[in-house]
Chains A and B, each alone.
Chain A
């Protein structure tokens, strides 16, 4: 079944210059592998098309059930140059919560 990521994980974005990093943290260990398998760096970049213009690199900390997507050229030149109202990109992470994950039926009890 297709389920939005918002029911599987929470997230936070941070800025360094023109690079935004968006971490995705599974609500429970049981959901982590499903997310990791389906949310590649390429899919992530596709989902942020129009905002993230540069390379997306994915890092994982499996023991903590979290992924970190480092998105280059994502903040309109950086906080002081950006014409975006949210020039720090503090709200950028929320977009990924709409990403649909194919979740096995037996994992349903773990969803939020």
Chain B
């Protein structure tokens, strides 16, 4: 027995048409959406505070569901999604609304709650993993705290007949592992299969990154029709292997190179990739191209899960002010350097209080910074990019204000943007901690169209 699981998104801003293609033509048993980055929940909390009408779930929920529900309902494809963000119940109600609007009656939608622990996080956690400081040191700054739930509550919802499961914070691979566990009856102590399930989930969670996205390098790694990448499909066999593939007729490529690149994406020790469900061991993975755009993955194994769950703690940490202006042609670099000198003097005059200040020459050293190899060749054009991290917005605004000053009080032949865009942004710093998994209680609410 095997099941077909498709990817519907790899992040909040991902394309929607490949999800619709998978829903319409993928003959899928499951379509899974991953829409949360590390700071997504904190950003949603900040927005909710400013705008009480913000519903608190994926801002693209309507577009995604309108695109995929017809295909999924027609084909009997179940949906698993972490689009619930800080309001899984609200997301489930909204999905029911779309089901009813589209004329689909009797579809069961489950909302998985319990990941949000903002109010209890200081009682439930001890120290910050990155710094070793006590989490109490974050008192007064915490915007949001979420425990990463695993596949268990999703499996429970599926066992109770859910067609669509929408969650808050769940570890990304668990979204894909849950249907395998449900369909094949893989239990929570079946580490080998849970390792495979989460390993395949890991390959799928970043969507097109395994089908030719984030991959092309002309002359070395060429990708056919890269404007039309498909999201991946995994054909998972109950014996513990999977084929990673994609819809025919789409752009992109699935080969041993795309799979290998994704295998260790955001992985540290390949033998110990910790998820809420299991510790995945990628070191025994076997990868084999079986035919065009079909790669067989097997041998991923697992070890017992840890007694803790990871917690992300989002904190208010100040602001970033940022702007840029431009030079080109003869003497561009010299003018850029004079402009930098002027700005540094100006920041003293206006008493800029910055935690960190960075002035880059985009086109020369802005991306790779201090490790950029020295070159004698001067670039034809340069953007001077200025950024500062500050404790309050007023200080951050000084960056844009001083760049404004460069328009008529600066250097000859300066190109400048009209300052329409917001040149300050709030920083939600994310710290990690661990919580005893027994202290985290998930709950499931059911809805029906």
Contacts and interface: CB of A to CB of B under 8 A. Distances in A.
Given A25-B260, A86-B367, A10 B221 contact: yes
A59 B270 contact: yes
Given A64-B263, A66-B264, A10 B371 contact: no
B286 A63 contact: yes
Contact of B389 (A49, A81, A112): A81
Contacts of B357: 83
A29 to B, nearest CB: 11
A16 B431 CA distance: 11
Nearest to A51: B371
Interface string A22-37: 0101000000000000
B369 A70 contact: no
A17 B267 contact: no
Interface stretch (B88-96, B185-193, B343-351, B358-366): B358-366
A6 interface: yes
Q: How large is the interface on A (under 10, 10 to 19, 20 to 34, 35 or more residues)?
A: 35 or more
Contacts, number: 120
Contacts of B28: none
Interface in B78-120: none
A14 B39 contact: no
A100 B270 CA distance: 26
B367 A21 contact: no
A50 B371 contact: yes
Interface in B280-336: 282-287, 317, 320, 322
Contact of A84 (B221, B260, B286, B369): B369
Given A61-B270, A83-B356, A48 B371 contact: yes
A17 B39 CA distance: 11
A22 B180 CA distance: 30
Contacts of B215: 12
B279 interface: no
Interface of B: 37-39, 130, 214-215, 217, 220-221, 257, 260-271, 282-287, 317, 320, 322, 356-358, 360, 362, 366-371, 373, 385, 387-389, 427-430, 432
Interface of A: 6, 10-12, 14-19, 21, 23, 25, 47-51, 57, 59, 61, 63-64, 66, 68, 70, 77-81, 83-86, 90-92, 95, 98, 112
Given A25-B261, A84-B366, A85-B360, 7 more contacts: A10-B217, A12-B264, A17-B130, A61-B264, A66-B260, A79-B37, A91-B367
